[in-house]
Amino acid sequence: MLFRQLFDKDTATYTYLIADEESREAVLIDPVREQLLRDTQLLEELSLKLVWVLETHVHADHVTSAGTLRQRFGARTVMSKHAGVNCADVAAEDGQTVQFGQHEIEVRLTPGHTSGDATYVILAEGKAFTGDTLLIRGCGRTDFQQGDARTLFASVHEKIFTLPESTQLYPAHDYKGRTSTTVGEELVHNPRLGGGRTVEEFVEIMDALNLPYPKRIDESLPANSNCGVAPWAPVENTHGGVPEVTIRWVKEESDEADVRVIDVREREEWEDPLGRVPGSTHAPLADLLQSVAGWDPNTRIVAVCRSGVRSGQAALTLLREGFTSVVSMRGGMLAWADVGYPVERD
């Protein structure tokens, strides 16, 4: 199994890349938005196919790139069923498994830091990814996001400390340069949860922490509740991973959302009697990248074609090229004309 531990210095966040070396199917755990280019380049350099993005919880200290990775690569996102979000493709149950190549990841729900924490275990490899539930010689705070010290104590002792003592544990953060630990080490040396501490002692420790309010929580929680994709439009993903919006939203809301509509049909279609969305820009699919050269990659774009097929291809192409906010208009100009919305014609 291929394994990489990656680090975001600004938030002291670890992202983990694991992959099956034969099938090249890959999984990312806890990706960070600011490290999107690093992660996508590594996937491409290693010829990996991203199939899963796993989140250990709804983070309060950084914004995830899970939604963007889903749009760009067609990967599916996984979170605990108690995370309280609607954007995950899989709302995981305790004990549910995720397959990639010949490998299997077990989801163990480990609430306490938040109500929606999960630990991801690869038993055959002796590895577990604990998020903020269990850190190296510590644990996540329990004073917000429905956190609860007693629940965290039970999660660690019942779901993590019951793994073989040789199991390597990989947390979501470390602020002292440490990279991993083991179940055996934490059982003995964790000052909050190990060494035979009782739940009452743990609750007393956690109640006395008096930690400051997370500085990025007001930005992170709303964004991460939508898998890191800014909710500028009511996007729905097709089974093929194409992000789509309805024709009604394009007509009624796109101006308010500061959107550029691009029509990817050929010249003769752009000029035919079916018409085009008022104010749209012509950018034929064959010349798409030349048409948008120099555009800000954060430009909000709605791609349009005759029926929605080519616009879906255009959306995925632009996402792969680094654009962050691209959708396809479902049904295309046929659907637009069918309901009698206004059009432009030459």
What pLDDT digit, counting tens, does each position of 79-114 carry?
Answer: 999 998 888 999 999 999 999 999 999 999 999 999
Say yes or no to pLDDT of 298 above 90.
no
Range name among 57-71, 150-164, 232-246, 300-314 with the lowest pLDDT average: 232-246
Say yes or no to pLDDT of 231 above 70.
no
Report the SS3 class of residue 72. Answer: helix
What pLDDT digit, counting tens, does each position of 176-224 carry?
Answer: 999 999 999 999 999 999 999 999 999 999 999 999 988 888 778 877 8
> What pLDDT does residue 128 have?
98
Cα dihedral sign for 297, 321, 33, 244? positive
Q: What is the DSSP letter of 214?
A: P
Determine the Cα–Cα distance for residues 329 and 346; give it in Å rounded to an integer.
22
> What pLDDT does residue 329 have?
97
User: Facing residues of 4 across strands?
Assistant: 17
Q: What is the DSSP letter of 90?
A: E
| Fold exhibited by the domain 236-338 | Oxidized Rhodanese; domain 1 (3.40.250)
Strand segments, DSSP code E, in the chain are 2-8, 13-19, 25-29, 49-54, 76-80, 90-92, 97-100, 103-109, 118-122, 127-131, 168-171, 181-182, 236-237, 243-245, 259-263, 281-282, 300-304, 325-329
Query: Percent of the chain beyond pLDDT 70?
Result: 98
> What pLDDT does residue 257 have?
82
> What pLDDT does residue 110 have?
98
Q: At what angle do helices 66-73 and 36-45 cross, to 10 degrees?
A: 40
Q: At what angle do helices 309-320 and 66-73 cross, to 10 degrees?
A: 120
| Fold exhibited by the domain 2-224 | Metallo-beta-lactamase; Chain A (3.60.15)
The rounded radius of gyration (Å) of the Cα atoms in the chain is: 23
What band does 33 get if pLDDT is binned at 50, 70 and 90?
A: confident
What pLDDT digit, counting tens, does each position of 302-344 carry?
Answer: 999 999 999 999 998 988 787 878 899 999 999 999 999 999 9
Within this chain, domains 2-224 and 236-338 share the same CATH topology:
no
Say yes or no to pLDDT of 229 above 80.
no
What pLDDT digit, counting tens, does each position of 34-47 carry?
Answer: 898 899 999 999 99
Prediction pTM value = 0.73
- Mean local confidence (pLDDT), 286-304: 93
Determine the Cα–Cα distance for residues 333 and 242; give it in Å rounded to an integer.
17
> What pLDDT does residue 56 have?
98
What band does 72 get if pLDDT is binned at 50, 70 and 90?
A: confident
Kindly list the domain boundaries of the chain, sorted by start residue: 2-224, 236-338
Do residues 283 and 276 lie in contact, with contact meaning Cβ atoms separated by under 8 Å?
A: no
Q: What is the DSSP letter of 248?
A: H
